[in-house]
Amino acid sequence: MHNSKNVPRTFLVARITVFAALSVVGSFIHLYSSLAFDSAPGFFAALYFGPLDGFCVFGVGHLATAIVSGFPFGFLHLPIALGLAFAGAAVGAINKKWNVLPAVATGIAINTALVVLAIPVYGMAFTLGFTPPLFLDACFNGAIGAVLYVAVRRRLKT
pLDDT in tens, 94-130: 999 999 999 999 999 999 999 999 898 889 999 999 8
Contacts of 152 (CB under 8 A, 6+ apart): 48
Give CA–CA dist 135/4, Å, rounded.
29
Q: Are 95 and 1 in contact (CB under 8 A)?
A: yes
CATH architecture of the domain 9-152 equals Orthogonal Bundle (1.10)
Give CA–CA dist 135/59, Å, rounded.
18
Contacts of 70 (CB under 8 A, 6+ apart): none
Rounded mean pLDDT, 56-68:
87
pLDDT of residue 65: 80
pLDDT above 70: residue 158: no
DSSP state of 37: S
Q: How confident is the model at residue 66 (pLDDT cuts 50, 70, 90)?
A: confident
Mean of pLDDT over the chain? 89
Q: Are 42 and 88 in contact (CB under 8 A)?
A: yes
Higher-confidence position of 51 and 72: 51
Domain ranges (residues) in the chain: 9-152
Rounded mean pLDDT, 126-145:
93
